[in-house]
Structure 1
Amino acid sequence: MRTRLSRALPAAVAVLAVFSALPVSAATAAVREPVPYASPVDHPSYIVTVRRDLDPADVARLVGVTPVHVFDTALHGFAARLNPAQVAALAALPGVETIEEDGTASAG
C-alpha cells in the first residue's frame, strides 16, 4: 500500500522538530579528546621497513620482537618498541631497508 505524502509529512516534521530541539552539547557530550601517543620510557618505538619479498612479521620475530603494527600499503614493514640490541640485530639483517625512531613529522 502506498503512503500518501499528506499523511507522512506531518510525522516527518514532528521527528525533525524533536531532533532540532536537542542541545548541541548533548550530541557531543560523549565524544572524548584523543589521547596523544607516548612511547614507553624503557624502549622507544621504531618504524622498520623491509624488502617487499619479506614478511615484516617474520623479520620482527627473528630478533624476538612482537610488532605493534605491520604496514603493507604505503610502507612495507612494522612498528615496534626496540631495545638497542634489537636495533643492532635488525640493522645487520640484509632484508632490512630502514630503521627510524618513531616521532612527529611536520611539513614546512
Structure 2
Amino acid sequence: MTGTSFDLDPLMTAEAWREEGRDVAIATVIETWGSAPRPAGSHLAVDRDGNFEGSVSGGCVEGAVIAEALDVIAEGNAKMLEFGVADETAWRVGLSCGGRIRVYVERLD
C-alpha cells in the first residue's frame, strides 16, 4: 500500500495508474467550513487494491474516504461525502478538529 505524500501530485499518480490499467477513483475536497485539515481542491487518488496517494483530511477521515472510493470503483457511481463535528461518523473516524469537509469521489474511466 502506498502511503500519503504531499510531495507527489495525486492527479498525476492517478493518470499513471490508469495508464498501467488500474481502476482508479479520485476524491476531491470541494468545500470546507471552519477549521478544516486540508483546503478545497485537495485530492486523494485510490486504486482498486487500496493503494492511495494524496490527502483530503491530513489523515483524519482518509480511511472512510478510501472505503467509499473502493465502492465507487466497484459500482461506478460517484458519491458526495460530508464529515463534520456534528457527524457521528466524523468523530468515529477522527475528524474532531472542529471543521467540516465535503468530498466528491468519482471513478476515472
Asked if Structure 1 and Structure 2 have the same fold, meaning a TM-score greater than 0.5 normalized by the shorter chain, the answer is: no
Question: Which structure has more helix as a fraction of its residues?
Answer: 1
Question: Which structure has more strand as a fraction of its residues?
Answer: 2
Which structure has the larger Rg?
Answer: 1
* TM-score (structure 1 length as normaliser): 0.27
Greater relative CO, 1 or 2 (CA 8 Å, sep 6+): 2
